[in-house]
């Protein structure tokens, strides 16, 4: 199991109940009333991602995100966000979007179940299936829908869901939409999952385990092989939200499943093109049988407008570029190793996996906010956040890009050494 920093927590963040009550998704979830006792029983923090001044004083990005990014009128060395290959401002990605804009307009103006298909959307799905080596793929407007589509698409194949207690809140929303009961298990704990399966499954019931492939706050990877072993005696399934893993992990950049070298007809994953690929929209690469069912039966597919066509074209180009440049992935791993080794030398407990998310904590929220501000005063942007799975005081999170130079990473480390 990977190490997660466990230093002294600081003042409490809003709990999950308070968070859900103040969000539209949460309100819908409360109304669904599916196993709410399980939802609130252990309340690991889910919360907010905001600048030190709160949402009333936001950071305003005034350029494409990259190693250097303009924020509130000033250029910063940028170690935040999740544009791992800095493709959001890549000239070929932009050109592809502009060309599609001129030819097709903003988007098709209707759902894909009728006249809403166009060649660009179909090309994205073809390229996603090619990239991930699957029979087919479906492309939809937001990665947040990953888990709704997974849970509803697989609803005929399971009876009870089991979700990691610190899973992204979109997983909880997705499972609620499946109208199936669910239980939680301890974070990345296959032994507790086995206990929950034995305790809560009735004879003949089939489980679905849902989890992030990569958890966004600490960048730790789910122990997926162990989950598969746990559900095997019950004929169960495992489904991953791999939004952070796709494009980054594995010898082929196919994500968490590729990282572990897994092939199983009981394992599914979805992701997004908005991070590593510099585009936009959610993706589900899968067997044709599941994709056909989704297209024919799910309201989230038939009742929503597709991704705007220029963004779809940019996403297709991003897929092409990542596939054509495996050296970027190697550079990203070298950069990540440099950053993590440097943080460990400074005394921080960071994991040594290849995910370019480097997270650490100080003794209090106030101290972390102060360090973030002082780094920004020195022209370096890192994220202070309270997000899913974070302790109550929040964390400082650095994300590494393949386009960062060794000197830029070393500058971050040098400034941190002076501060902490």
- Domains belonging to the chain, first-starting first, are 16-89+326-419 (3.90.1150.10), 91-324 (3.40.640.10)
- Among residues 48, 388, 67, which one has the least CA distance to residue 218? 388
Neighbours of 62 (CB within 10 A): 12
Tens-binned pLDDT, residue by residue, of the chain (420 aa):
454 433 333 333 333 334 333 333 333 333 333 333 333 334 333 344 445 444 445 899 999 999 999 999 999 999 999 999 999 999 999 999 999 999 999 999 999 999 999 999 999 999 999 999 999 999 999 999 999 999 999 999 999 999 999 999 999 999 999 999 999 999 999 999 999 999 999 999 999 999 999 999 999 999 999 999 999 999 999 999 999 999 999 999 999 999 999 999 999 999 999 999 999 999 999 999 999 999 999 998 888 899 999 999 999 999 999 999 999 999 999 999 999 999 999 999 999 999 999 999 999 999 999 999 999 999 999 999 988 888 889 999 999 999 999 999 999 999 999 998
The answer to whether the beta carbons of residues 396 and 371 sit under 8 Å apart is yes
**Cα 414 from Cα 392, distance rounded (Å):** 28
pLDDT of residue 387: 86
| Integer Cα distance of 100 and 311 in angstroms | 9
pTM value? 0.86
244: its two tokens: 């952070």
CA–CA gap between residue 20 and residue 18 (Å, rounded): 6
Match 């791993």 to its residue by tokens. 333
pLDDT given at position 18? 40
Map tokens 């494409």 to a residue.
64
User: Among 358, 349, 356, 360, which residue's Cα sits nearest to residue 395?
Assistant: 360
Neighbouring C-beta atoms of residue 106, cutoff 10 Å: 12
CA distance 64 to 86: 8
Question: Is the separation of the CB atoms in 100 and 307 below 8 Å?
Answer: no
Per-residue pLDDT at 57: 53
> What would you measure as the largest C-alpha separation in the chain, in angstroms?
62
Name the one residue in this structure whose structure tokens are 């162990």.
226
Beta bridge partners of 139: 283
Give the torsion sign (CA, 254, 341, 328, 312): positive
Tokens 């440097």 — which residue? 342
């Amino acid at each position: 199991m990977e190490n997660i920093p466990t230093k002294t927590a600081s003042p409490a963040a809003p709990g999950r109940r308070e968070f859900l009550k103040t969000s539209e998704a949460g309100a819908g979830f409360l109304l669904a009333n599916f196993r709410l006792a399980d939802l609130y029983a252990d309340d690991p923090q889910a919360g907010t991602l905001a600048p030190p001044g709160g949402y009333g004083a936001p950071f305003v990005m005034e350029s494409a995100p990259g190693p250097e990014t303009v924020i509130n009128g000033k250029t910063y060395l940028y170690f935040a966000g999740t544009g791992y290959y800095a493709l959001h401002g890549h000239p070929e990605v932009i050109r592809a979007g502009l060309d599609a804009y001129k030819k097709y307009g903003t988007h098709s103006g209707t759902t894909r179940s009728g006249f809403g298909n166009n060649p660009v959307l179909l090309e994205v799905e073809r390229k996603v299936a090619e990239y991930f080596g699957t029979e087919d793929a479906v492309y939809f407007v937001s990665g947040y829908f990953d888990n709704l589509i997974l849970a509803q698409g697989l609803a005929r194949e399971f009876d009870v869901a089991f979700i990691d207690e610190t899973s992204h809140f979109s997983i909880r929303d997705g499972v609620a939409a499946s109208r199936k009961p669910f239980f939680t298990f301890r974070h990345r704990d296959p032994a507790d999952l086995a206990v929950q399966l034995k305790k809560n499954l009735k004879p003949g019931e089939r489980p679905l385990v849902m989890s992030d492939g990569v958890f966004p706050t600490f960048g730790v990877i789910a122990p997926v092989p162990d989950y598969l072993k746990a559900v095997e005696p019950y004929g169960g399934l495992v489904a991953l939200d791999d939004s952070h893993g796709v494009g980054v992990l594995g010898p082929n950049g196919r994500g968490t499943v590729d990282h572990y070298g897994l092939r199983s007809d009981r394992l599914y994953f979805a992701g997004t093109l908005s991070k590593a690929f510099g585009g936009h929209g959610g993706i589900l690469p899968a067997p044709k049988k599941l994709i056909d069912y989704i297209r024919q039966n799910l309201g989230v597919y038939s009742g929503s407008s597709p991704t705007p066509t220029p963004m779809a074209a940019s996403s297709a180009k991003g897929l092409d570029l990542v596939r054509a440049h495996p050296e970027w992935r190697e550079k990203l791993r070298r950069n990540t190793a440099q950053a993590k080794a440097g943080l460990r030398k400074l005394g921080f407990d960071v994991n040594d996996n290849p995910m370019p998310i480097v997270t650490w904590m100080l003794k209090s929220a106030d101290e972390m906010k102060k360090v973030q501000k002082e780094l920004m005063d020195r022209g370096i942007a890192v994220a202070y956040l309270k997000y899913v799975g974070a302790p109550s005081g929040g964390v400082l999170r650095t994300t590494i890009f393949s386009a960062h130079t060794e000197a830029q990473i070393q500058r971050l480390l040098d400034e941190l050494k002076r501060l902490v």
